[in-house]
Amino acid sequence: MNPDFPMSTLRRGTDGLQVESVSLQSIAARYGTPTFVYSLAALREAYDAYARALAGVNARVHYAVKANSNLGVLSAFARMGTGFDIVSGGELARVIAAGGDPSAVVFSGVGKSRAEIRQALAAGIECFNIESASELDRIDHIAGEMDLRAPIAFRVNPDVDPKTHPYISTGLRNNKFGVAFDEALRLYRRAAGMRNLRISGIACHIGSQLLDPAPAREATEKLLGLVDALAAEGIALDHIDLGGGLGIRYRDETPPTVTEYLSPMLGLLAGRKERICLEPGRSLVGNAGLLLTRIEYLKPGVERNFAVVDAAMNDLARPALYDAYHGVVEVNPRGAGARQYEIVGPICESGDFLAHDRSLDVAEGDLLAFLSAGAYGMTMSSNYNTRTRAAEIMVDGDKTWVVRERETVESLYALETPLPHG
């Protein structure tokens, strides 16, 4: 990893900051701002860390599409051989459009609609991760209508504290996700008697941005006790899905390596016949992307100085939503001395901030790079204030590929109609 930046392929060159062999100055000149910039080499590097950690293990990585669903990113992972973890029919359509194999797709989420279940069954997905008794009944009924047997697993809530932000904690008993641990055995027994279902596995996901392997190990241990109880009743499973959640460095965190994170879980699973499934998202894409933005105005104030940029909370929602930290770097520092700034966008909300109290050596018109923006950047963006969403660019060595064109204002209201006269 680059010791100066969380993004391993970001470095300073003769033309300022560059991703791989392409300067951010040239990307801004060619494609405009704000723009998300991704590094194909960083995506490969992140996936290779999982491949090395799982060498010789009967396991498959299912990339969590919600982290970044761009077709360029999805096609890159499909070519690396990943499966996919989805939470909507739209994400399934994206995976297929990107060349992903639907038979390597697991479908999670608490609110699968009837249409989405039919879509997934018709596509031949690998497994539904069921999150309620009502969903179990719905999938059984629809599979019967389609004369199919639906492959299922229950997402079991182990009530383990992941020690992360409460908004991204998913494994406690008061979370909306999964079925209660104490209810799981009864639900599996019930599912075993449904003729339109095929029990395939068991799943668990306790949260995101995990920096300590201990909670994941605890959840795995609890899950294996349930797997053994099922086996004792003659309910054998094909796979054990341990979810994702490994964190990344945004600021000064020291996340474990993939090997360090997985080793305690793999130790518990050694010698078992079930295939292991993992669902990483942030750890594959978070530090493979950044948000490039330009300073519109520098606004001195009595108590605070403001750098008003052309990106906003609609482009990068995490700071406003979670008070999340993203590193900010000048693309071409001026060398004239730094000042402290609040970095804000043009949106008409006091909550439209991207960073607090940052030291910047800049002038109006300069470029800034918001780091660690590859996960939950574009996927959480919106068109608030009728703002067009950013372009997305993939860098591969000295080449750039437009993997999403910048929206036009006209496209934002193309599906709307004014009221008729009279």
User: 316 and 355 in contact (C-beta within 8 Å)?
Assistant: no
Q: Which residues contact 58 (CB under 8 A, 6 or more apart)?
A: 274, 275, 276
**Confidence band for 174, pLDDT divided at 50, 70 and 90:** low
At residue 28's C-alpha, the angle toward residues 23 and 33, to 5°, is 140
Beta carbons within 8 Å of 406's beta carbon, 6+ residues apart: 31, 32, 35, 388, 389, 390, 391
**If residue 230 lies in a helix (H) or strand (E), which one and from where to where?**
helix 213-232
Can 277 be counted among the known catalytic residues? no
What residues are designated binding site for pyridoxal 5'-phosphate?
245, 279-282, 376
Q: CA–CA separation, 346 vs 385, rounded Å?
A: 9
Residue 301: the pLDDT is 87
Confidence label for 4 from pLDDT (cuts 50, 70 and 90): confident
CA dihedral 120→125→127→131, nearest 10 degrees, is -20
Of 285, 267, 271, whose CA–CA distance to 6 is shortest? Answer: 285
- pLDDT score of 165 more than 80: no
Residue 150: helix, strand or coil by DSSP?
strand
- Asked if residues 44 and 288 have their Cβ atoms less than 8 Å apart, the reply is no
Q: How many angstroms separate the CA atoms of 189 and 276, rounded?
A: 22
Name the DSSP class of 173.
T
8 A C-beta contact, residue 193 and residue 229: no
Kindly list the distances between the CA atom of residue 4 and the CA atoms of 1, 46, 71, 88, 391, in Å, as whole numbers in the listed order. Answer: 9, 18, 30, 37, 26
Burial status of residue 337 (CB atoms within 10 A of its CB: 0-12, 13-18, 19 or more): exposed
Q: What is the pLDDT of residues 63-121, one digit of tens each?
A: 999 999 999 999 999 999 999 999 999 999 999 999 999 999 999 999 999 999 999 99
Query: Is the per-residue pLDDT at 6 higher than 50?
Result: yes
Q: How does pLDDT run across 333-362, given as a tens digit for each residue?
A: 988 789 999 999 999 999 999 999 999 999
The pLDDT, as a whole number, for residue 69 is: 98
Angle of helix 71-80 relative to helix 89-97, nearest 10 degrees? 70
* Binding-site annotation, residues: 245, 279-282, 318, 322, 349, 376
Question: What DSSP element (H or E) covers 399?
Answer: strand 399-404
The catalytically annotated residue of 127, 204, 277, 348 is: 348
**Which residues of the chain are in CATH 3.20.20.10 domains?**
108-280
Indicate whether 259 pLDDT > 90: yes
| Torsion on CA atoms 55, 81, 396, 257, rounded to nearest 10 | -30
Superfamily the domain 108-280 falls into: Alanine racemase (3.20.20.10)
Question: Could you say which of 2.40.37.10, 1.10.3080.10, 1.20.1630.10, 3.30.70.260 is the CATH number of the domain covering 10-39+286-412?
Answer: 2.40.37.10
Q: What is the pLDDT of residue 335?
A: 84
Q: Where in the chain is the domain with CATH 2.40.37.10?
A: 10-39+286-412
Alpha carbon distances (Å) from 298 to 301, 336, 360, 366, 384: 10, 15, 11, 10, 23
409 pLDDT more than 70: yes
